[in-house]
Amino acid sequence: MPGPEQARQIFIIRGEKLSVSLITGLITFITGTTYTLIAMNLPAAPLGRANEPKIFPVSLGILMIILSFLLIAQEMKKRASKDNTEYEKAVFKIDNHIKSIILTVLNAAIYSFLFVRAGYVISTFIFVGLELLLFSGIKKWKSSALIAIIFSLAIYILFYKLLGVYLPMTPYIWI
């Protein structure tokens, strides 16, 4: 059955070792179950066969649940064979780069709030500027600001002026 299986990776969370495949299996199981439940409760079709809109989603949900069992079973089998040598490679720890990711997501949320309200050029300057600071550190704020302003203006000219793609404008300044 198996395709080439990579060396199994593990999460280390507070010193506990958890196999990635096992966690994946659990996430898959939860996703599949939730989806199936919502799918079963979809409204009936007003005309034609009433259950038609549900057939495909419900089958997908069940397929997902089956796949999660298969994945967990595969993992258990390996565990039973005591093949623990593979358990070496730690790949995932909550550390600095996760913080950077969270900050990026927050920055993006601010961006989407400002995008229409403040207009493209200004909101993009802020977004890309902050992201550059995040990558390069606060000391390089001058070059970051310069790159951010060049980027937002250049894209504005390319998209809005040359390609005619609609972008929101800043109130009063009208760029």
Partner 1 sequence: MESFELLLHGFTVALQPMNIMWVTVGGILGTIIGMLPGLGPATGVAVLLPLTFTMGPVAALITMGGVYYGAMYGGSRASILINTPGDGAAVAATFDGYPMTLKGKAESALAISAIASFIGGVFATIIMVFVSMPVARFAVKFGPAEYFMLFVFALAATASMTKGNRIKGFISMTLGLMIATIGIDAQSGVKRFTFNILELQSGIDFLVVIIAVYALGEVFKSFKNIAEGKKTIQTGFGKIWISMEEWKRCFWPILRSSPLGFFIGALPGAGGTMASLMAYNNEKQMSKTPEEFGEGAIEGVAAPEAANNAASVGAMIPMLTLGIPGSGTTAVMMGALLMLGLQPGPLLFQQQPTIIWGLIASMFIGNIILAVLNIPFAGIIVRVLAVPPRILYPIVLGLAFVGTFAISSSVMDFNLLIIFGIIGFVMSITNIPATPMILAVIVGSNMEQSFRRAYKISDADLSIFIASPICIVLIALTIISILFPIIKNIFEKIKK
Partner 2 sequence: MEKRRIVTLIAAVFILTATVVFAAGSGENEEAQYPKGNLDFVAPGGAGGGWDLTIRTTAKVLKDTGLVKVSMPVRNNPGAGGSVHLTSLQEVKGTARTITVYSPPLILTNLNGTTEYSYNDVTPLARLIADYAVYVVAADSPYKTMNDVMTALKKDIKSVKIGGNSSVGSMDHIQFLIMAKAVGIKNLKEIDYVSFDESGSAQVLGGHIDLFSTGLSEVLGLIESRDLRALAQSSDHRVGEGIIAEISTCQEQGIDATFVNWRGIFGPPEMPEYAVSYWRDIFAKMVKTDEWKAARKTNGWDDAYLDGPDFKTFLGEVNEEYKGVLSDIGMLN
Q: How far apart are CA 75 and CA 55, in angstroms?
A: 31
d(C-alpha 168, C-alpha 117), whole Å:
8
* Widest pairwise Cα distance in the chain: 70
Question: For residue 10, how far is the Cα from the chain centroid?
Answer: 20
> Cα(159)–Cα(142) distance, rounded to whole angstroms?
26
Taking CA atoms, 63 is separated from 29, 34, 51, 76, in Å, by 10, 13, 18, 20
Q: Residue 36 binds which entry of partner 2, partner 1, none, with Cβ cut-offs from 5 to 8 Å by kind? A: none
- The site map against partner 2 for 2-41 (x = CB under 8 A) is ----------------------------------------
Does 119 sit near partner 1 (CB under 8 A)? no
Name all contacts of 79-85 with Cβ < 8 Å and 24+ positions apart.
79/19
Picked from partner 2, partner 1, none, the partner binding residue 10 (CB below 5 to 8 A depending on kind) is none
| Chosen from partner 1, partner 2, none, partner binding at 33 (C-beta under 5 to 8 Å by type) | none
Write down the least CB distance from residue 158 to partner 1, Å: 8
By a kind-dependent CB cut-off of 5 to 8 A, residue 153 interacts, out of partner 1, partner 2, none, with: none
Candidates 21-29, 31-39, 42-50, 61-69; binding stretch for partner 2 (CB under 8 A): 42-50
No. of helices (H) and no. of strands (E), the chain? 5, 3
Interface characters, 137-156, with partner 2 (x: CB under 8 A): xx------------------
Considering only residues 104 to 133 of the shown chain, the ones binding partner 2 according to CB under 8 A are: 106-107, 110, 114, 117-118, 122-123, 126, 130, 133
3-state secondary structure of 65: helix
User: What does the binding site for partner 2 look like in residue numbers (CB under 8 A)?
Assistant: 46-48, 99, 103, 106-107, 110, 114, 117-118, 122-123, 126, 130, 133-134, 137-138, 164, 166, 171-172, 174
